[in-house]
Amino acid sequence: MERYEFVLENEHGLHARPAGLMVETCSGYNSEVNINKGAVKVNGKSMLGVLMLAASKGDTLLIEVEGEDETDALAAIKRLIDSQFDE
């Protein structure tokens, strides 16, 4: 399993647009993706799950990816995070 922890830097957090990009990215891979904020864990392929996280600017998130293409999946997720979700 691949893990990656990061601090969210988007002004409005993981709101509709960035959440959508996140789900789109996760859904492109067969691996299971979970996003954790504190004790809350949601399915990275679920739009509503990601929105429910209510992740705001400054929150620390932990991404867990597990499956045959986990390395590629995490690389793609990292690229998305580094691009500040195209904002």
Partner 1 sequence: MKIKGITTSKGIAFGTAFVLVKKHVDVSFKPCTDIDTAINELHIAIKKSKDQLKAIVKKTKEEIGEKESKIFNAHSLILDDPEYVKSIENIITKENVCVTYAVEQTRKMFEAMFLGMDNSYMRERAADINDVSNRLIRAVLNIEDSIDVPAGTILICEDLEPSDTAALDPAKIAGIITEKGGETSHSAIIAKSLAIPAISNVKMDSGNVVTGDKLILDAIEGVLIVNPTESELAHYQNIKDHFVKEQSVYKVGMLGRVKTLDGHEVEISANIASADHLKNILEQGADGVGLFRTEFLYMNRTSPPSVEEQYNAYKTALQAFGDKPMVIRTFDIGGDKRIDYLNLEEEMNPFLGYRAIRISLDRKELFKVQIKALLMASPYGNLKIMFPMISSIEELLQTREVIDSVRIEMEKENIPIGDYEIGMMVEIPAVAVQADKFAKYVDFFSIGTNDLLQYTVAVDRMNEKLTHLYSWYHPGLLEMIKMVANAGEKAGIWVGICGEAAADPNLLPFYVGIGIHELSMSPSKIAEIKWRLRHFNKSEMGEVVAHVLSLDTSEQVKRYLTTLEKNLQ
Name the residues annotated as catalytic.
Answer: 15
How many other β-carbons are positioned within 10 Å of the β-carbon of residue 48?
A: 11
Residue 7 engages partner 1 in binding (rule: CB under 8 A): no
How many CB atoms are closer than 10 A to CB 7? 10
Does residue number 37 form part of the binding site for partner 1 (CB under 8 A)?
Answer: no
- What is the CB neighbour count within 10 angstroms for residue 13? 17
Residue 76 touches partner 1, criterion: CB under 8 A: no
Binding flag, residue 62, partner 1 (CB under 8 A): no
- Position among 6, 36, 41, 51 found at the interface with partner 1 (CB under 8 A): 51
